[in-house]
Amino acid sequence: MVDTRVSLAGVALQNPVIPASGTFGFGYEFAALYDINILGSLVLKGTTREARFGNPTPRIAECSSGLLNAVGLQNPGIDAVIANELPRLRACYGGPIIANISGFSIDEYTACCEKIDRQAQVALIEVNISCPNVHGGGMSFGTDAKSAAAVTAAVKAVTTKPVFVKLTPNVTDIAEIARACEAAGADGISMINTLFGMRIDLKTRRPVLANRMGGYSGPAALPVALRMVYQVYEAVKIPIMGMGGIASAEDVLEMMLAGATAVQVGAANLVEPFACRDIIRELPACMERYGVTKLSEITGGAH
């Protein structure tokens, strides 16, 4: 009998499979398809202080090995998430919930994190630092070590629950960013967010996305994500939630061997709504096939 349980910054998960933010709604939408209580955890849709309609359409573009998105953090705002979305999710899901907080200033990050930290059903907070810093010339917080550390420290000052900082891959040295977050008090790292990309329509000779560029995710991102998780595992001592192209039980094992304690499944949910369910079902047999009896023991096993 294999053991799929893992512990993520002290939060016990029955398995390491977690739907990624922005690919699973607020969770309850998928409860009509299958029992979402089989999930290790789930990450809420990215939440900001004010409601956001998001970017103009088209904001999704398919690629041969994935997809581009420029949704633009469409969400009802932190107060509506707390008042409406969390209760609807808790009515059908009893496991640990991970909130995902985004912001365009340090003040917005801290305001949202302080509010979500007070919600009993939220076990961890994931802070997405891939947003443009409106007070810093529009450069993403996550592309500069000092900015990443500043957000981390500010959020940790107003929260009591574990904080995982979600890193962008669009940097020269992701290990440097991870070390800065760890030094500023981060309890864990989530990685990687989407890669920057675009498509061009040959008929119109214009970018497919209204936003021109967007975040690329899907199977082709897996080797990049694995490389970065591997590098960060050797750079920090805090746990990693690995993501980027995960679509099978084998991918889960590979990401954990690279250094992840748990994994997030993103684009695969948009292609196959039952992706997480199927991965969880396949995981025990996959573990047996590769001689893994206790999943928590393989984290970083490729080092």
**Identified catalytic residue from 131, 181, 276, 286:** 131
Position 142 pLDDT exceeds 90: yes
Distance, in Å, from the CA atom of 29 to the CA atom of 159, rounded to the nearest integer, reads 28
Three-class secondary structure of residue 243 per DSSP: strand
Chain CA centroid to CA 277, Å = 18
Give pLDDT, residue 130.
Answer: 85
Q: What is the DSSP letter of 194?
A: P
What residue has token string 């907070």? Answer: 125
HSE, side-chain direction, 13 A CA sphere, residue 236: 29
Residue 1 or 137, more confident: 1
Give pLDDT, residue 131.
Answer: 74
pLDDT tens column, 231-275 = 999 999 999 999 999 999 999 999 999 999 999 999 999 999 999
pLDDT tens column, 64-121 = 899 999 999 999 999 999 999 999 999 999 999 999 999 999 999 999 999 999 999 9
Distance, in Å, from the CA atom of 303 to the CA atom of 141, rounded to the nearest integer, reads 30
Q: What is the DSSP letter of 297?
A: G
Position 136 pLDDT exceeds 70: no
Mean pLDDT (whole number) for 155-165: 98
Looking at residue 148, its amino acid is A
Position 133 pLDDT exceeds 70: no
Distance, in Å, from the CA atom of 293 to the CA atom of 3, rounded to the nearest integer, reads 6
Q: In the chain, what are the domain boundaries?
A: 6-297
Position 135 pLDDT exceeds 80: no
* Number of residues assigned to the chain: 303
Strand partners, 100: 126
Q: Which two tokens stand for residue 297?
A: 């023991």
Distance, in Å, from the CA atom of 24 to the CA atom of 31, rounded to the nearest integer, reads 10
Mean pLDDT (whole number) for 35-53: 97
Which ranges of the chain does DSSP label H, i.e. alpha helix? 78-80, 86-90, 106-117, 145-156, 174-183, 222-235, 249-258, 267-271, 275-289
DSSP for 24-71 reads: STTSGGGGGTS-GGGSS-EEPPPB-SS-B--SPSP-EEEETTEEEE--
Give pLDDT, residue 139.
Answer: 65
* Predicted TM-score (pTM) of this structure: 0.97
The domain made up of 6-297 is a member of CATH 1.10.1470.10? no
Distance, in Å, from the CA atom of 85 to the CA atom of 81, rounded to the nearest integer, reads 5
Q: What is the average pLDDT score of the chain?
A: 96
Backbone angles phi, psi at 66, to 5 degrees: 155, -155
Three-class secondary structure of residue 150 per DSSP: helix
Distance, in Å, from the CA atom of 125 to the CA atom of 242, rounded to the nearest integer, reads 15
Give pLDDT, residue 78.
Answer: 98
Is 63 in the active site? no
What residue has token string 């998780």? Answer: 229
